[in-house]
Structure 1
């Protein structure tokens, strides 16, 4: 029997190679994992940082379509695992019927989520305060990363993660999320399909970029669907929960959930 494919999807400001510990753990658990990059982004952090002009003008739909094409080339329907905007994208892939199940780790808000915590607005303002950022990539400073990702960590660990994994990121997804409930459908997710696979949402209790109120709002979008939607909460974790010293706790919880659902 061939192993189940797993596709990892990163969010804003992190490179796909940040998933490598997860890839290794899932491979050891018997899966066939891959962590593709967003369209246009080079293969390494060092290559991506100097050339943000190559990949700055991509929105959520572009990235979702990119991963949909990758999935169509796999030998079997995968499990999809995403963080932040990657968590939104894996929900869209699940809603399109392209995945067996999805794990959305502290996912960016889908259209219809009304919660707007001030900390999330502060993080988004890095891009949306300048309309020109809609068509280009935007980098975080170490202080901005500390606020949005590393606030639950020591200053030293936050600085180390910033140096190891961060890259400039397309600004357009943040504009699309900010305007989602007024105009546009880029962040819309099909939450009504009764035949979709199981969905796991996670919420980091100290996450400033995607605070728990956003995750709870996402869960409410699915409340009328008979398909499985569950939430796991990590009270002491921030937005860095996929890459910091405690990543294995989140990864193992995801594996355990997949196993409970026969996946």
Structure 2
């Protein structure tokens, strides 16, 4: 089976077959776009808007196994529930970039919260790639994960790790009056889902460690922090820089955008 490469604003697919189109076929494609997709020409949506680069003058195809197709689908759905349709969709277990990021993040957390200072709360722990590193370093961790498929794998991964507990709470539930108190809350690469950042004000802790890619840090966290009377950043550190990396069994590659850690301390 051959698959049309298509267009993605995030992935660059590795094609097996490239077939240039003649002028007549390009003109037919443009006529279809202008006649049937005119509303998309005026859209600035990064996934749905149509512009020149999305109407190429060549058709490209690749062949893929069922596993490769499933992994590519999950990766493209990385901000939706479908991301959990395969185990380890972000390839934490095999990616050199992700291993470096997780190792650096665990070391950064330990520097600010040495093992033995109390149970940390890791929000959105996914399948426990960071949790296991923290437990191995001697931390006690409450790992929360609302997605049931990720949580099932998380519990299985931590079944023999007494230092870690698993819970289904999301950020909003943890911010309620009876949320678990902790010396620090860890919001590591999880503030990409439209959460209300005001919930951070109600977390029962005076220390929050956030990690985000630089653009999300600039557009989401910095504006909120500048207006917040309750928190100040006491450190901002690059955990890992950007890197291009193969994904989906080598069927595609993408830009991993780096990660920056921010230490937030409550002021009032």
Instruction: Please give the range of the TM-score, normalised by the shorter of the 2 chains.
Output: 0.3 to 0.5
User: TM-score, normalised to structure 2's length?
Assistant: 0.34
More strand by share: 2
More helix by share: 1
TM-score (norm 1): 0.34
Asked which structure has the greater CA Rg, the reply is 2
